[in-house]
Amino acid sequence: MTRSSDATGLVMQAPSDFRQLACTSWQLPPCAEGELQVQIEHVALNFADLLLCAGRYQIRPEPPYSPGLEVAGRVISQGHALSGRRVVGLLDYGGLATRCNIPQHHLVDIDDDVSNQQAVCLPVGYGTSEAGLFHRAQLSSNDTLLIHGASSGVGKTAAELARALGCRVVLSASSPERQEMLQAQGYEHVFVIGDDFRGQIEAVFGPRPINVVYDALGGAIAKPSLSLLGFGGRYLVIGFAAGEPPLFPANHLLVKNVDVLGFYWGAYVHHDTSQYVSVMKRLMKKVSQKIIDPQYIELYGFSGAMEGLSLLEDRKANGKIVIDVTKNG
């Protein structure tokens, strides 16, 4: 049982521009059944936080509310197996605060050799890619993977995880400058999106060489990407950062024996908690074993959170933005 306590955070009084976030204190109610109270120490920011503030995210909470999907901290509720433990959590919203009552199935204890900052980078980006590639699309080391949006947060994690697996990784780029940037990161097969995107790839690898497409862009690139899939191929729908949700012709899926897989990772914490926990545990092991190396920028306090949201809006974040909320400067 946890009694009521004070919390401070950034709060929206109504959906609007994130600059309307105000630092507010309130009394946190006692935990409901199945909840644990967490002293939040680190919060990772996502583009979804901007959408939450504006009321344009798929989850639209009643105001007042706080953004914040990824949190790390320590359980202060007593009498639970996680009491006193460091935990990381994936929330629907509400994490950009000093304390929060969180359903216990959203929380996973952090391995001793993983820092809060590393752990809080995992739930959204790495979780999406780990579960999407290996659970939903069943990617194997013998596959060839095409990633759209490889310079985005989720796309970077997909490329890192796939390269660690040892499969052949093919990336798209929106410009020659992005192509050079990705090649400088050690990715050999990077192709600029254009009129002959399919032809560029098939000239190197032969006809229909792709086993899995990881598409975080959507829009017009879907049509040539679907045509690149070979027999038994899987098209993983991650997001629509560059356009409208694509339409997939069912007759092509039938004749080519390919699957289009919708994937929203945030639903797993509600509908398949065992898979959520398994994915998070695998990711922490990969951090421990230095298979993956989350890159982040650390900012401090709620003023740092406002700065971080501005960086996200301007697309100037070079790595995950992690806020240390224990230092409210």
* pLDDT 10s digits, 295-327: 999 999 999 999 999 999 998 888 899 999 998
Task: Select 5-121+294-324's CATH number: 3.40.1190.20, 3.90.180.10, 3.30.460.10, 3.40.50.1820.
Answer: 3.90.180.10
- Burial zone of 185 (CB within 10 Å; 0-12 exposed, 13-18 middle, 19+ buried): middle
pLDDT of residue 243: 76
Checking if the pLDDT of 191 tops 80, the result is: yes
Q: Strand, helix or coil at 316? A: coil
d(C-alpha 57, C-alpha 25), whole Å: 24
CATH 3.90.180.10 spans which residues of the chain? 5-121+294-324
pLDDT of residue 328: 72
pTM given for the model: 0.94
189: β partners: 170
Q: Is the peptide bond before 245 cis (omega within 30 degrees of 0)?
A: no
End-to-end CA distance of the chain: 32
- The helix (H) or strand (E) run that includes residue 75 is strand 70-75
- Burial zone of 166 (CB within 10 Å; 0-12 exposed, 13-18 middle, 19+ buried): exposed
pLDDT of residue 277: 96
Checking if the pLDDT of 160 tops 80, the result is: yes
Map tokens 């809080």 to a residue: 120
* Section 191-209 average pLDDT: 96
Which tokens in the block code for residue 82? 């996680």
d(C-alpha 121, C-alpha 293), whole Å: 10
Checking if the pLDDT of 152 tops 70, the result is: yes
CATH 3.40.50.720 spans which residues of the chain? 126-265
State the average pLDDT for the chain: 95
Checking if the pLDDT of 46 tops 80, the result is: yes
Structural fold of domain 126-265: Rossmann fold (3.40.50)
* Section 92-110 average pLDDT: 96
Checking if the pLDDT of 4 tops 90, the result is: no
d(C-alpha 311, C-alpha 321), whole Å: 9
Alpha-carbon separation of residue 210 from 131, 142, 144, 165, 307 (angstroms)? 19, 11, 5, 16, 40
